[in-house]
Structure 1
């Protein structure tokens, strides 16, 4: 299966400090589901920033959607970013917009008709349990509700690559399972999914997923790290 992401000898440092990521050599296959784990400070958020193009590597090469980004100019990056859905740990909702309009934003930017937008947004808000909160602004939503709006916004365009940073950290266990099911459904449609999490139970409940583990900026055993977590039972494909 073709790779949607390839890292070749990638390193990243901020300013003149030590590298926070080093010697990153791996590829992510199109249509696969990955969990990214590691202790706090291991470099998970930095790796995600490279994946969704918020950061450029200090060294090495990254290929995304089959194209080498080494020489890509700033004006070329938006076209790549439109193919990526991102769930940020701090949500990054637009404060003056309602939940409905926050979720609709990527579709409006892409030029969809308002009738299509209304139908799609209502469906996804119902899925994440916020159908009755469509008109609410972020300040009136709980942390878990804001998280669900952020996830709905990230998946509304059915992106080719979905990158999520601790996407279930502010919701209860039942909603975490429901959101993971949503990611699984999107994965079934061909989206490559990368979820950073500390939740070992979440990982164990998703036998379809492959595991990537970071240790102090280094991907541990990259040739064998993409495996199911120990002691997890094989189950049907959908989580």
Structure 2
């Protein structure tokens, strides 16, 4: 099977340290391909969150090379960062919803920041809330939503702009096993649409539920068996977007 035309992310001997401390990530090298599903695993303190910060560009490495979408991400001019980051959706374990905004307005926020007109926002946001099963909770504020509902709003917000890559940091850590499986199915659906998905988790049950996924395991700041992260999985057939599927 041939590889895709271009990688979506490439790390080459990346190291990261905070301040003058020792490296928390050492000699990290891997390639992520478009439309693939990856799990990032490792014990607490192994460096998963630090690696994700590099992936969604909230942190620059101390050394090494990072290319994203065919561009050197380390030397990217500051003025290009906002547009670049819009290609990356992020789901946090603690949701990070804006408390005074409704579910609808939280999901709409990335579109408004990007300058999308209000008349072009209503339908996509409504469709996305329907997709995550919260169409009837669009006016609810985060404090009135359960943990699973808040996480689904966070997922909808992360993918409303159709990012090329979704990065999720322990997204099922604050929900029960049944809801964790539902969230995983949402990630799988998004992946089938062509989005590259990276999920950091310590839950082995989730990993077993996605047999076509690839696993990157961190051990004390190093990738264990990095060759396992470099093999290319079968390409999946494209499916309609959530909005298109709802429209049909």
Q: Give TM-score, length-normalised by structure 1.
A: 0.90
Alignment partner of 1:36 out of 35, 40, 43: 40
Q: Which residue does 1:233 correspond to in 2?
A: none
Change (3 A) 1:150 1:141: same
Counterpart for residue 179 of structure 1: 183
Q: Which residue of 2 aligns with 1:53?
A: 57
Figure out how many residues of one structure are paired with residues of the other and give that number: 231
**2:201 corresponds to 1:206:** no
Moved more, 53-62 or 168-177: 168-177
In the TM superposition, residue 117 of structure 1 has moved relative to its aligned partner by 2.0
Which of the residues 50, 73, 77 maps onto 1:73? Answer: 77
Alpha-carbon distance in 2 for matches of 1:114, 1:72:
31
Using the TM superposition, give the Cα deviation of residue 142 of structure 1 relative to its aligned residue in structure 2, in angstroms. Answer: 2.6
Match 1:189 to one of 174, 187, 193: 193
Q: Distance in 1 between matches of 2:200 and 2:119?
A: 34
- 1:14 maps onto 2:18 in alignment: yes
Alignment correspondent of 2:139: 135
SS in 2 for 1:20: strand
How far off is 1:218 after superposition?
0.2
- Which runs of 5 or more structure 1 residues have no equivalent in the other structure? 228-235
SS at match of 1:169: coil
| CA contact 1:208–1:237 (8 Å) conserved in 2 | no
Choose 113-122 or 61-70, whichever is displaced more: 113-122
Contact 2:87/2:163 (CA < 8 Å) preserved in 1? Answer: yes
Unaligned runs of 5+ in 2: 239-248
Q: Which moves more between the two structures, 168-177 or 4-13?
A: 168-177
The alignment status of 1:219 with 2:214, answered yes or no, reads: no
CA RMSD of aligned residues (A): 2.0
Please report how far the alpha carbon of residue 175 of structure 1 lies from its aligned counterpart in structure 2 after TM superposition.
Answer: 2.8
Q: Using the alignment, how far apart are the partners of 2:220 and 2:230 within structure 1?
A: 18
Structure 1 residue 183, shift from structure 2 partner: 1.5
In structure 1, the residue matched to 2:8 is 4
User: Bigger CA drift: 80-89 or 119-128?
Assistant: 119-128
Partners of 1:77 and 1:110 lie apart in 2 by 13
CA distance in 2, matches of 1:172, 1:226: 32
Q: Please name the residue that 1:118 is paired with.
A: 122
Q: Distance in 2 between matches of 1:211 and 1:123?
A: 32
CA distance in 1, matches of 2:173, 2:34: 26
Report what 1:84 is aligned to: 88
For the pair 1:64 / 2:94, whether they are aligned, the reply is no
Question: What's the CA shift for 1:73?
Answer: 2.5
Deviation at 1:225, TM superposition (A): 4.6
Q: Look up the match of 2:167.
A: 163
Kindly provide the CA deviation profile for residues 101-150 of structure 1, in whole angstroms up to 9, marking residues without a partner as x: 00011122233343442222222222323222211212222322221111
